[in-house]
Structure 1
């Protein structure tokens, strides 16, 4: 008799599958035909399996509703993008590149501004600017694992959803997971004072069941986001504030130097953030070199 479950970890030809009814985690193996057909399940896949003794054999992989290519995770409800403006100070360009990939994959995003306990009076303007810029487009949660601020609000975003935690090394993803799910004991490391950049503390995507409902995939940190597959003319589709206000004189307006560009007018009026527009231009220049 076939049972159904979700792949929470994948190691070569061995999968760890959590049964959808009993929540039991079972070591499963793939039938030979999967390799012959070039089929490879990934974390987040829903599979049908047959239990044989203490193990299971995967019989089929159900159709995915979506897939994030890097790291490869299937059937995602949202990407939780973690950002910091101090220790480390992460460029907004890196966040906007990540959001482009999220939009390209047609996924929802939640933004977390972490380590707000480190911000002093001189940082408040940057904090306000961040919130003002991004809260018009995405849910924004300000958090601190030291004071507990924002943790309960963050739990509400995770509840009953399959979420991917994303962001560069050092922004506190593992510490946040430890805060929303005490006892998970994910490894955390101190930020190097010399380079203000964290070491990678996670080595592979793995689904973690949350006690209040839902899953989260803790994913490896990254410092380089690949954009070379994105066509320059499609970039405007991945900036929601540009897409929603695309009423320019020319339908194929790139919003750079064309006459009658409504987007540039909105930037001048302050209705579209200057930082977002400047990062759009920077990403456009970068991807244009690839085509």
Structure 2
């Protein structure tokens, strides 16, 4: 029995990396019986049949997991958003941040296509990014074409397992190619008809980039808050969570409650009204969610 890590899952096979060797494994039949699905990123015990093939016998406990994309044991999420083409979307970024924060994954915000920004647009985007920095997020403005900001990512990726995620067409594969040109991942231009990129990544795979493992994924196919409860949502907005400790009532959801420190902070422009509005929108979505039985 040997330990390894699943770095690719494809057509029912799990490709396990162990001591620099890749072993193509199948899962034990009992996994299917018990509805257990090995995921890319899983640390596993496997039994090798020979130098190239074997069976995954045991999945070690996960520190976290995502369902869509299916991946486990993520240290950080590199959230890729474009500054233009498509335009930067704070609402979509906040949606991603909620999902990542709720899974205890450290987010790093990367905004691409800086080379396409006009002076006025750069100022507008930087105003947004400065707010995210002020509430504790690491934020980088990048260009895969001019290499602006690329080197700042190198030390952040070393010795970690990262997932690259973001809206389609923002240049995820282009960015990974800029970080490791030998990969030559396929990229597609933006569809002018749809205004968004075509998916070029078909499966989840961990690849070696800058001394760490990076998952190039097909992206988040679902951005619903299916596993987040109303009382937990507040903890995915750091500035709201921190200010909420000053509220008069414990369990304050910062909507209609009296003496709410968060609403007071929004009125005083200590908390972004736009971020607060996104919080209220997401809270409503969760409250209107159909119950699961």
Band of TM-score, shorter chain: over 0.9
Contact 2:42–2:73 (8 Å) recurs in 1 = yes
Distance 1:11 1:205 in 2: 8
Contact 2:68–2:220 (8 Å) recurs in 1 = no
Give the deviation of 1:222 after TM superposition: 4.6
TM-score, normalised to structure 1, is 0.93
Distance 2:162 2:65 in 1: 12
Deviates more, 1:169-178 or 1:34-43: 34-43
Contact 1:80–1:165 (8 Å) recurs in 2 = yes
- 1:59 is aligned to 57
Distance 1:224 1:28 in 2: 29
Distance 1:129 1:286 in 2: 28
Residue of 87, 108, 130 corresponding to 1:89: 87
Deviates more, 1:185-194 or 1:71-80: 185-194
Distance 1:89 1:62 in 2: 41
Give the deviation of 1:224 after TM superposition: 5.0
Gaps of 5+ in 1: none
- 1:186 is aligned to 185
Give the deviation of 1:83 after TM superposition: 1.1
* Deviations 1:166-210 (CA, angstroms, capped at 9, x unpaired): 101011100001011111111101112343211111122111122
* Deviations 1:110-130 (CA, angstroms, capped at 9, x unpaired): 000111111102202322222
2:246 matches 1:280: no
* Deviations 1:28-65 (CA, angstroms, capped at 9, x unpaired): 12232322333221100011222222312222211111
Distance 1:8 1:99 in 2: 25
- 1:163 is aligned to 162
Deviates more, 1:136-145 or 1:281-290: 281-290
- 2:268 is aligned to 269
Deviates more, 1:159-168 or 1:35-44: 35-44
Distance 1:46 1:223, change over 3 A: closer
- The number of residues matched between the two structures is 287
Equivalent positions of 1:157-236 (< 5 A) are 157-210=156-209, 212-222=210-220, 225-236=223-234
Contact 1:169–1:223 (8 Å) recurs in 2 = no
TM-score, normalised to structure 2, is 0.92
Contact 1:169–1:222 (8 Å) recurs in 2 = no
Deviates more, 1:220-229 or 1:162-171: 220-229
Contact 1:174–1:186 (8 Å) recurs in 2 = yes
Equivalent positions of 1:227-246 (< 5 A) are 227-246=225-244
Gaps of 5+ in 2: none
- 2:25 is aligned to 28
Distance 1:275 1:125 in 2: 18
Runs of 4+ in 1 over 6 A off after TM superposition: none
